[in-house]
Amino acid sequence: MANIIRSASRRDVLKITALGGAGAMLGAQPGRAAGKTLGFMHESSFIQTYDDFFKKTLVPEYQKAAGVTVDYQLISVGSLQTRMATAAETGNGPDITLTFFNWPFLFDEKLVDVSDIAEQIGKANGGWWDSAKEAVIVNGKWKAIPFGNVGQIMNWRTDWFEEVGIKEFPDTWDAFLEAGTKLKKAGHPYGLELGHGFGDNHGWLYPLLWSFGAHEVEPDGKTIVIDSDETARAVDYCRKLFHDAILEDCLGWTDVSNNKAWMSEQISCTNNAESILWFAKKQFPDIGKVTQQSLNPQGPKGRFHILAPWSHAIYSFSPNIQASKDFLVWLNQPKQIEGWYASADSYYAPYMHAYDDAPLWHVEPRNLPYRDSLKTSHLPGWPAPIGRAQAEAVAKYVVVDMFAKACAGKSTKEVIADAKAQLQQIYKA
Amino acid sequence: MASAHTQALPRPVLRPRPAFSLRRWTEREGVFSWLMVIPPTLFLAALVGYPFIYGIWLSLENRPVAQAGTFVGLANFITDLHDPVFWQVAQNTFVYTFSATALKMAGGLALALVMNQDFKFKNLIRAVMLLPFIIPTVLSTIAWMWILDPSFSVINWFLIHWGIANPGPSWLGNPSIAMFSLIMVNTWRGLPFYAITLLAGLQTISPELYEAATIDGASTFARFRYITAPLLKPVIFIVTMFSVIFTFSDFQLVYVLTRGGPANATHLFATYAFDVAMSGGQFGLGASIALSMLPPLALLIAGMAWYMRGEKT
């Protein structure tokens, strides 16, 4: 049996290299006889203390508690999805993996149903946030244990807003536009990504769409409803915001761009995770002092945020499924999990209510809106069912490009028609 | 020769048939040539042939990541044909390839002609010229990211300080300029390859031809037109073919600088296929996009080969 698996794996490794993006193969696994070693794949965190805490504290503690070594396999930022795909396709890799965004839905068949321990873990920690469930429950089964949300909210310069007479962050998109118009005239435009990054564009454009009462597809997963007056209003708003308040370059931005622009004091407001404040405090303390963070503005139909979950899933090919479950239960015990959360300040907003007012939130009160954003956070594509069609729509930047094209000069009618045509094709409607 | 003949004749049957020698066997031309050809053939079959065939197979399947595929025939290609972004990507790729290749050809030829002259520090300068080609693409592209950055851009600094433009253009943010910027970066990177290959070609042209032409009163332009250009043609063909292939399937530049933005203005076949296959988890559809590069490339190359043959006769 082992031989069959191994030879199949080799063939499949060739297959995956054929896909072009997945050349980096997983190395040979250390012996996992009798569940002595568990492979745990994680993407390097922007917050170094977080990875250090796992390696230096949690690994030895679990070794002591259960006699099991956890091999914490760090991979470089941006390559987790290809590595996850390689492991899933070849049936060879770590036992447990970190997953982002909607990946539990994409890798559904290759992940173990962890509903049993999810309930248990939730109970031990005051219950799960609803948004956590939205991120990992696939067809009624928990396919991962939610860990934390790397939310996106508005980061803004208090000094420049004050310069134009604004003390509080604008509560509505209209007030946001008004403030931005003044700020751009004063030489401090907003820097909101409209390009092809992986997070900072979706981070504000989906919430913008939703808060105008629009969405792409109905919850039935078939009816395309992007062609609506609400969408048209959101697009018109975005075009005006772009011309009056946003730096022109944002159309070509990727996810590094706004951080660079922030630290070089080019922009007065952006939409990002709290790493921007964390980094500013460390490297540019003067900028850190005048960086404030607030919830996204609200529109006529409410206030929304993007859900950006980190969760932990067990591969179904793992020979150590029970040992992996045991480890995740242990990891999510309050003592361990709170320490791990705290090692990253509050970069990963806990998905469990026991930590709603935990000390980690008070280390940096400016991060509190990230916790509050969880109440109004959804995955891109919401309220349509999350899955392959939705993932394809995100990968093709249907919503982002609808807004970007309008900003670059196309008519509202045209850009919505384009988006509609794409969605019809993707959802086979 | 004569003595060998007389000695050998009397007892030909007595001579024992030489034992089989592996060494002698492998030295036979028929065997040796196969021995030399088989390893690279196997290597190519495993690392190029297999992925290629598998890619074709994938493109005929509905194959979501982590799920078994189902054969769907040409459905993916039909989907592509109805995808407006696919057509934009196709157009982008052609504009990118033709513009960058033409610029590299003109610039490379000019550079090669200059480098073919005799001047001080010739070798050093030739080596320096190769730098853009030697530096890993991702690294040099990150440098370009700064050069094209709106506030740090050295180009914009000059434009502003000389009073030409204020503010400077958004090199990667403006959809029309973004493609131009990428073509420039690609040209910068690919120029040395052209220059050094054409320079090698130039050096194979016998100086006597030029001398004879000069004596016959040919002008510089005439010497280029009737000696350099025709003799350089085969080299130009090869280098253009390579360049077209590399440029057509370019990935790194776009991936680092814009990832296909703004609004798909710089998306190429390779980056679009990657997004659909990896981020979207649609391996079959992604493979069909990547494979769509093949027919136009094959046509281009066949066309060029045909053109070159036509010239010779």
Residue range B256-309, pLDDT digits in tens: 899 998 999 999 999 999 999 988 889 999 999 999 999 988 988 888 888 777
Does the beta-carbon distance from B262 to A81 stay under 8 Å?
no
CATH at A138: 3.40.190.10
Q: pLDDT digits over B28-51, tens only?
A: 888 888 999 999 999 999 999 999
Residue A259 clears pLDDT 60, i.e. is over it: yes
Interface residue of B87, B278, B288, B294 to substitute, partner A, most A CBs within 10 Å: B278
> Residue B55: its chain A contacts at CB < 8 A?
18
CA distances from residue A414 to A109, A393, B79, B167 in whole angstroms, order as listed: 39, 18, 21, 30
Tell me if chain B has a CB within 8 Å of the CB of A138. Answer: no
Tens of pLDDT along A274-326?
Answer: 999 999 999 999 999 999 999 999 999 999 999 999 999 999 999 999 999 99
What confidence score (pLDDT) does residue B304 get?
80
**What would the mean pLDDT of B233-254 be, rounded to a whole number?**
90
Task: Please check whether residue A44 lies inside any domain of the structure.
Answer: yes
User: What pLDDT does B14 receive?
Assistant: 57
Confidence of residue B9 (pLDDT cuts 50, 70, 90): low
CB nearest to B262's CB, from A15, A106, A408:
A408
Nearest CA in chain B to A101: B279
| Domain end call among A372, A390, A414 | A372
| CA distance linking residue B41 with residue B206, whole number of Å | 37
In the structure, what pLDDT confidence band is assigned to residue B15 with cuts at 50, 70 and 90? low
Q: What 3-state DSSP class applies to A2?
A: helix
User: Which chain A residue has its CA at the smallest distance from B256's CA?
Assistant: A254
B132 part of contact set with chain A, CB < 8 Å: no
Residue B121: predicted pLDDT:
87
Least confident window among A24-28, B11-15, B97-101, B291-295 = A24-28
Q: Which of A86, A420, A199, A421 is nearest to B283 (CA)?
A: A86
Share of chain B above pLDDT 90, in %: 50
**% residues pLDDT > 90 (chain A):** 84
DSSP 8-state class, residue A246: B
Specify whether A293 is located in the same domain as A403.
yes
Sole residue written with tokens 């499949």: A12
**A88 and A180 inside one domain:** no
As a whole number, the mean pLDDT across chain A is: 90
- Point out the least confidently predicted range of A319-333, B77-91, B124-138, B194-208: B124-138
| A192 and A266 assigned to the same domain | yes
- Are A195 and B261 within 8 A, CB to CB? yes
Residue B49: φ, ψ to 5°? -60, -50
CB pairs under 8 A between A and B: 150
Cβ neighbours of residue A20 closer than 8 Å, sequence gap 6 or more: B270, B273, B274, B277, B290
pLDDT for A116? 95
Domain count, chain A: 2
B279 and A395: CB-CB below 8 Å?
A: yes
d(CA A207, CA B209): 72
* Model pLDDT for residues A44-91, shown as the tens digit of each residue: 998 889 999 999 999 999 999 999 999 999 999 888 999 999 999 999
pLDDT in tens, A174-212: 999 999 999 999 999 999 999 999 889 999 999 999 999
Distance in Å, alpha carbon of B263 to nearest chain A alpha carbon:
5
Chain B CB contacts of A252 under 8 Å are: 170-174, 178, 258, 261-262
Do A231 and A299 share a domain, yes or no?
A: yes
Phi first, then psi, for residue A43 (nearest 5°) are -85, 140
**CB pair distance less than 8 Å for B66 and A82:** no
How confident is the model over A335-351, as a mean pLDDT?
93
Residue A17 has pLDDT above 50, yes or no: no
Do A363 and A292 have their domain in common?
no
Same domain? For A295 and A355 the reply is no
Q: Among candidates B288, B284, B230, B309, which has minimal Cα distance to B89?
A: B288
Tell whether A98 is covered by a domain.
Answer: yes
- What pLDDT shows up at residue B313? 44
Give yes or no for residue A33 having a pLDDT over 50: no
User: What domains are defined for chain B?
Assistant: 15-59 (no CATH), 79-312 (1.10.3720.10)
pLDDT in the model for residue B237: 87
Q: Based on the fold, state whether residues A134 and A171 are members of the same structural domain.
A: no
Does B152 contact chain A (CB < 8 Å)?
yes
Count the Cβ atoms, other than its own, within 10 Å of residue A312.
Answer: 22
Which of A356, A372, A388 corresponds to the end of one domain?
A372
Residue B234's pLDDT is: 87
The predicted structure's pLDDT at residue B163: 84
Do A188 and A169 sit in the same domain of this protein?
A: yes
CA distance A148 to A47: 14
Query: A135 with A244, same domain?
Result: no
Answer whether A22 sits within 8 Å of B275, measured CB to CB.
Answer: no
Of B51, B66, B178, the CB nearest to A18: B51
Statement: residue B128 has pLDDT above 90: no
* pLDDT of B306: 84
Which residues are within 8 A (CB) of B63 and not within 5 positions of it... i.e. 6 or more apart?
A: B69, B70, B282, B283, B284, B287
Nearest to A404 among B263, B276, B281 (CB): B263
The reply to whether A326 falls in a domain is yes
Residue A11 has pLDDT above 70, yes or no: no
Q: What is the pLDDT of residues A369-416, one digit of tens each?
A: 999 999 999 999 999 999 889 999 999 999 999 999 999 999 999 999
**Same structural domain for residues A159 and A256?**
yes
What average pLDDT score do residues B176-183 get? 94
Interface test with A, best of B149, B259, B293 (most A CBs within 10 A): B259
Residue at a domain's end among A349, A372, A395: A372
Mean pLDDT of B77-89: 92
Which of B85, B141, B268 has the most A C-beta neighbours within 10 Å, making it the best mutation to test the interface with A? B85
Can you read off the two tokens belonging to residue B73? 């025939």
Are A389 and A274 in a shared domain?
Answer: yes
Same domain, A365 and A391: no
| Domain span holding position A285 | 153-305+379-426
Q: Answer whether residue A84 is part of any domain.
A: yes
Q: Which two tokens stand for residue A64?
A: 């002591």
Residue A148 within a domain? no
- Percent of chain A clearing pLDDT 70 (strictly above): 92
Partner A contacted by B296 (CB < 8 A): no
A224 lies in a domain?
yes
Q: ipTM, 2 decimals? A: 0.81
Predicted local distance difference test score (pLDDT) of residue B176: 87
